Amino acid sequence: MPRSSLITLTCALAAGASAFSYGAAAPQSSQEKQFSQEFRDGYSILKHYGGNGPYSERASYGVARDPPTGCEVDQVIMIKRHGERYPSPSAGQGIEESLAKVYSINTTEYKGDLAFLNDWTYYVPNECYYNAETTSGPYAGLLDAYTQGTEYRARYGHLWDGESVVPFFSSGYGRVIGTARKFGEGFFGYNYSTNAALNIISESEVQGADSLTPSCDTDNDQTTCDNLTSLMPQFKIAAARLNAQNPGMNLTETDVYHLMVMASYELNARPFSNWINAFTQDEWVSFGYVEDLNYYYCAGPGDKNMAAVGAVYANASLTLLNQGPKKAGSLFFNFAHDTNITPILAALGVLIPDEDLPLDRIPFGNPYTTGNIVPQGGHLTIERLSCQATALSDEGTFVRLVLNEAVLPFNACQSGPGYSCPLANYTSILNKDLPDYTTTCNVSSSYPQHLSFWWNYNTTTELNYRTKPIACQEGEAMD
Ligand SMILES: *[C@@H]1O[C@H](CO)[C@@H](O)[C@H](O)[C@H]1NC(C)=O
Ligand SMILES: *[C@@H]1O[C@H](CO)[C@@H](O)[C@H](O)[C@H]1NC(C)=O
Ligand SMILES: *[C@@H]1O[C@H](CO)[C@@H](O)[C@H](O)[C@H]1NC(C)=O
Ligand SMILES: *[C@@H]1O[C@H](CO)[C@@H](O)[C@H](O)[C@H]1NC(C)=O
Ligand SMILES: *[C@@H]1O[C@H](CO)[C@@H](O)[C@H](O)[C@H]1NC(C)=O
Ligand SMILES: *[C@@H]1O[C@H](CO)[C@@H](O)[C@H](O)[C@H]1NC(C)=O
Ligand SMILES: *[C@@H]1O[C@H](CO)[C@@H](O)[C@H](O)[C@H]1NC(C)=O
Ligand SMILES: *[C@@H]1O[C@H](CO)[C@@H](O)[C@H](O)[C@H]1NC(C)=O
């Protein structure tokens, strides 16, 4: 749908229009189409760098984002990955090794696809920036968090009474906490310093199940996870091309992988990346699939323990939904990492391919496409809908999943308005299907066995602002 008609639709709904409206404004001229017929090849780099690059909305099934007619959201439970960031220190090490090979040749004039190198500099100012969220350019991580906060204020502001103190929750990791704070400033605006109460939940294993980042031993899967980059012939082809254009670099397929990792993060800090153009579309398609394999086998449904890990959040949020806004509260904003969101999706039974992803070819059309699932800033939003009776369904309470702003219906249950699921059905399905985290993952009985911070939170505003400078390559943190 062209952007103009989305805007029209949003405005129509905001103005209280009751009927669904397809319409854009009437065409300006007889040649202007209401709907573009062009989808070209559907290619955007933003869908082919795995989880490394800037946020983009999930490609939707066309289901309207706003609540269905006759329904109102009365509770929202969101978990958001931190915003756009610099590479990790370990990715940085591989990048620097491969860049050193690129720079090892004695030339004042790079040629071919690397001609831009004659006036390019690495976008990471120094090694202390590894791990940090980005603050520059149109795709900056902190900007993403603030912008989404303002968008959620517009969408869910009716769920705050304008007086009460609202807790929100971040795992204990520097960039995650930074994201939570910027989102909070966006959502609460002038009231952030007095009416939001940041709770920081340590990422330590001793939190057991009382965590946004529960862990589980993944040893069994590590051999697959560590050995994915050799799978794609396209990386060899790219290495041969770049070596032929600039003899002496001797890049290998592993170097190409490192350089593509580097390219995929560049937009997080800059408006433009020449490195992205140094690789072909097909090379990016291969790169994206390698990243899909990584998430699927190492943090998603291809790892036999991950549904149990995600069951912690799925089960606790089920309790919130059944208690409802009057008993539990209406707004639950949570902040963690990509690999905390993919287990939750596995536990909820959505985006599961019919068979394990193959290692020897790309199964085009596969639902497990990381760019649609956990780009930087990616988020899963659970909406509780209170609906009047319709021709389709009785008055009642329904649940919808929204992933990166696109509605993601359950396979097993979509009988409610807007393809939502009646809360009672959602509850019975999950109660039957959710694995048990503490037994599957052998969680020590001396650690908490359930998530309880959504009910036992602090209302102090002391943690709302950072008081110390961020540390070099900051990771886990509690302030
Ligand atoms: C690099 O090339 C220039 C010009 O061809 C030459 O003068 C210089 O000695 C070379 N440096 C090295 C380290 O090989
Ligand atoms: C929220 O902020 C506005 C603008 O500063 C202020 O008028 C209002 O009193 C604040 N509400 C609360 C509960 O502090
Ligand atoms: C990695 O994959 C290659 C190619 O599929 C295979 O030959 C090799 O044994 C694998 N290595 C490990 C450690 O699994
Ligand atoms: C690249 O390979 C060539 C031929 O094997 C060798 O002469 C050259 O020293 C290598 N260059 C680097 C930077 O390793
Ligand atoms: C699910 O959560 C409820 C309360 O939030 C708890 O009583 C129950 O034991 C949990 N179930 C599992 C399997 O963790
Ligand atoms: C929902 O639950 C009702 C009552 O148990 C059942 O009749 C119905 O088939 C369920 N619908 C779905 C979509 O699961
Ligand atoms: C938990 O313990 C059992 C029995 O010792 C073992 O078979 C299983 O692999 C363990 N699971 C994890 C995730 O470590
Ligand atoms: C609330 O604050 C107390 C005291 O600082 C701390 O021990 C506890 O972990 C905090 N609870 C949460 C949910 O952050």
- Report the amino acid identity of residue 221: D
Residue 383 is inside which H or E element, if any? strand 379-387
- Tokens 């996870």 correspond to what residue? 225
Provide the whole-model pTM: 0.91
> 195: Cβ below 6 Å to ligand 2?
yes
Which amino acid is residue 86, in one-letter code?
A: Y
**Alpha carbons 108 and 90: distance in angstroms, whole number:** 30
Atom of ligand 5 at shortest range from CA of 452: 5
| Cα 320 to averaged position of ligand 6 atoms, centre (Å) | 21
- Give the integer Cα–Cα distance in Å for 203 and 169: 12
Closest ligand to C-alpha of residue 399 is: 6
Determine which residue's CA is closest to atom 12 belonging to ligand 6.
413
Tokens of 270: 């800059």
**Residue of 227, 229, 232, 257 with the most ligand 3 atoms within 8 Å of its CB, for mutation:** 227
pLDDT averaged over 10-residue windows placed end to end, the chain, 479 residues: 37 38 59 83 90 97 96 98 98 98 92 96 98 98 98 98 98 98 98 98 98 82 68 89 97 95 98 97 94 93 95 98 98 98 98 94 95 98 96 92 98 95 98 97 97 98 96 97
Structure tokens at 8: 């029209």
Residue 216 alpha carbon to ligand 7 centre in Å: 10
Cβ–ligand 2 contact at 194 (below 6 Å): yes
pLDDT at 377: 98
Q: Which residues, other chains included, contact 128 with Cβ-Cβ below 8 Å and sequence gap of 6+?
A: 472, 473
Distance 106 CA to ligand 1 centre (A): 6
Residue to mutate, 165, 190, 192, 461, ligand 2, most ligand atoms under 8 Å from C-beta: 190
Lookup result for tokens 């103009």: 4
d(CA 147, CA 136): 14
Q: Ligand 3 within 6 A of 227 CB?
A: yes
Cα–Cα distance between 256 and 290 in angstroms, integer? 13
The pLDDT value recorded for residue 221 is: 60
Listed residue (87, 175, 93) closest to 124, CA to CA: 87
What confidence score (pLDDT) does residue 21 get? 43
Phi, psi of 162 (to 5 degrees): 85, 0
Ligand 7 centroid–CA 380 distance in Å is 29
**Ligand 7 centroid distance, CA of 302 (Å):** 17
Q: What is the pLDDT of residue 410?
A: 95
- The amino acid at residue 243 is N
Q: How far is the CA of 292 from the centre of ligand 3 (A)?
A: 18
Residue that is written with structure tokens 């963690």 in the block: 336
Longest CA–CA separation in the chain, Å: 74
CA distance 116 to 109: 9
Residue nearest to atom 10 of ligand 5 (CA): 315
* Proximal ligand: closest to the CA of 108: 1
Q: Please answer whether residues 354 and 101 qualify as being in contact, where contact means their C-beta atoms are separated by less than 8 angstroms.
A: no
The token pair that represents 18 in the structure block: 């009751």
Atom of ligand 4 nearest to the CA of 104: 13
Query: Ligand 4, atom 6: nearest CA belongs to which residue?
Result: 248
Are the beta carbons of 123 and 267 closer than 8 angstroms?
Answer: no
Task: Report the catalytic residues.
Answer: 82, 338
Between CA 126 and CA 113 the distance in angstroms is 26
**Interaxial angle between packed helices 281-299 and 253-269, expressed in degrees from 0 to 180 and rounded to the nearest 10:** 90
Task: Please name the residue that has the structure tokens 């189409």.
Answer: 33
Mutate to test the pocket of ligand 5, among 77, 309, 319, 453 (most ligand atoms within 8 A of CB): 319
Vertex 361: Cα angle to 360 and 365 (nearest 5): 145
CATH code of 69-440, in short, is 3.40.50.1240
- DSSP line for 240-281: HHHHHHSTT----HHHHHHHHHHHHHHHHH-S--HHHHTS-H
Ligand 5, atom 7: closest residue by C-alpha: 450
Residues lining ligand 6, CB < 6 A?
413, 415, 422, 425
The per-residue pLDDT for range 248-292, each reduced to its tens digit, is: 999 999 999 999 999 999 999 999 999 999 999 999 999 999 999
Where in the chain are the domains? Answer: 69-440
* Ligand 7: residue whose CA is nearest its atom 6: 442
Considering every ligand atom shown, identify the ligand nearest to the alpha carbon of residue 192 and give its number. 2
d(CA 248, ligand 4 centre) in Å: 6
Give residue-wise pLDDT tens across range 202-229: 999 999 999 999 999 765 566 677 677 6
